[in-house]
Amino acid sequence: MKIWKIVARTWALFLLASACNTAEPTSAVLSNEYSPADKADRADSMPVYKGWWAVAQFPEPVAAGQVSNPVRVVPGSDYGYALLAPGWDATSDTPPTTLIPLRSTQKLGVGRGELLTFVVSDQATLGDCRAGMPLTQEDADYITRRVFPGEFATLAYDAESCTSSPVAGDEGDAGGTSGSP
């Protein structure tokens, strides 16, 4: 019986030690790489209202040319999702009236103790019709219904035109509380 306890404790210590192979936390940032000078026909600002990757939300707006504060994440690989708010002031207390759901063009991955950078730009994300990169309606529905359902609770989103319209009987806007997938 004593040998069993020694083996069990040794195994538990081994599992604990192997689970923490770095003292550095795994984290992620959202980098908004739009800038007002990108395109002359765009509004002066292209802030990201919110973002999401795997199990982590980027809850604070990120102005064009800025990077979010780091958030803790778990190692893995998944698509990144964001809500672009063209023409909205990222320092405003009022939610944006126009939101464009975006998805990273490829899965983003991060290992234990590393930093993931979720880049939001015309080249790194799909969804902005003005960039000629609309989402499929299936992807847009996933983002608006599963990733950010609060922001689209009273809206129907058309991926082909990148426009939202009130759901029959509602007069809602794009603001609201966020959800998670």
Identify the DSSP state of 126.
E
- Count of helix runs (H) and strand runs (E) in the chain: 2, 12
Task: Give me the number of domains the chain comprises.
Answer: 1
Q: Cα separation of 73 and 26, whole Å?
A: 6
**Domain membership flag for residue 173:** no
The answer as to whether 178 is a domain residue is: no
pLDDT in tens, 115-133: 999 999 999 999 999 889 9
Range of the domain at 82: 24-166
Residues 30-47 pLDDT 10s: 999 997 554 444 445 899
Query: Please, are residues 100 and 133 in contact by the beta-carbon 8 Å criterion?
Result: no
Strand, coil or helix: 121: coil
Q: Is 80 inside any structural domain?
A: yes
pLDDT tens by residue, 58-98: 999 999 999 999 999 999 999 999 999 998 988 888 999 89
Residue 63 falls inside a structural domain: yes
| Cβ neighbours for 104, distance < 8 A, ≥ 6 positions apart | 79, 80, 81, 118, 119, 124, 125, 126
Let me know if residue 172 belongs to a domain: no
Statement: residue 110 has pLDDT above 90: yes
For residues 54 and 76, the answer to whether their CB atoms sit within 8 Å is yes
pLDDT band at residue 175 using 50, 70 and 90 as cut-offs: very low
0.95 exceeded by the pTM?
no
